[in-house]
Amino acid sequence: MSASSAESRGGAVEVVLVKSGRTKIRYGAELLADDGNQVTVRAPWAGAGVRDFGFVRFEPGDVFTEHYWRDRWYAVKEVRDARGSLKGWYCDVTRPAEVSSSGTIVVEDLDLDLWCSADGTTVLRLDEAEFTTSGLTARDPEAASAAERALDELEELARAGAFTRATTST
């Protein structure tokens, strides 16, 4: 899928999240856009049942509009409940997305995450201890450094209101 495959808009794609070399989750999504660098899809909550993080609950009926980049070390996922009310943005630090011509988007989760609430007042860096113990720094220091920079960039975007402005301007 590339900029030349704009006719694929609205087609089905598969998102595959890999962690430590193993498939963590695989789910179907609807392709909304692909400009050759950024791919945007929409998918229902793909987890089993409710996942309560304390600061947000993901549950059946939630809808995720997910943004992946071929040149960025993160993915940004806008989360809405079944009624369409914005919950916030869950951001995964990942290697740049690999998008196949057959409609599969593969991203490798690098453990670091960020949450930004719907009103932008709560910004949380997540899983930093998990990242530290993952061994990525020893195995792939360049990737570990890129992951840390990506988390910093996401936090900067969130604190600057970039996510809330993007939602209110559309």
Are the C-beta atoms of residues 62 and 51 closer than 8 Å to each other? no
Which H or E run contains 35? none
What tokens does 27 get? 């789910």
Domain hosting 52: range is: 3-168
Q: Which positions ≥6 away from 15 have C-beta within 8 Å?
A: 26, 27, 28, 29, 41, 43, 66, 104, 105, 107
CA 77 to each of CA 20, 21, 122, 133, 140: distance values in angstroms, whole numbers, following the listed order:
21, 22, 16, 25, 26
As for how many domains the chain has, the answer is 1
- Mean pLDDT by runs of 10 across the 170 residues of the chain is 47 95 95 96 92 95 97 98 97 97 95 96 95 94 97 97 71
Q: Which CATH number fits the domain that encloses residue 84?
A: 2.40.380.10
Which segments of 95-138 are extended strands (E)?
98-99, 104-117, 123-126
Q: State the pLDDT at residue 169.
A: 41
Q: State the pLDDT at residue 5.
A: 43
* CA 22 – CA 61 distance, rounded (Å): 27
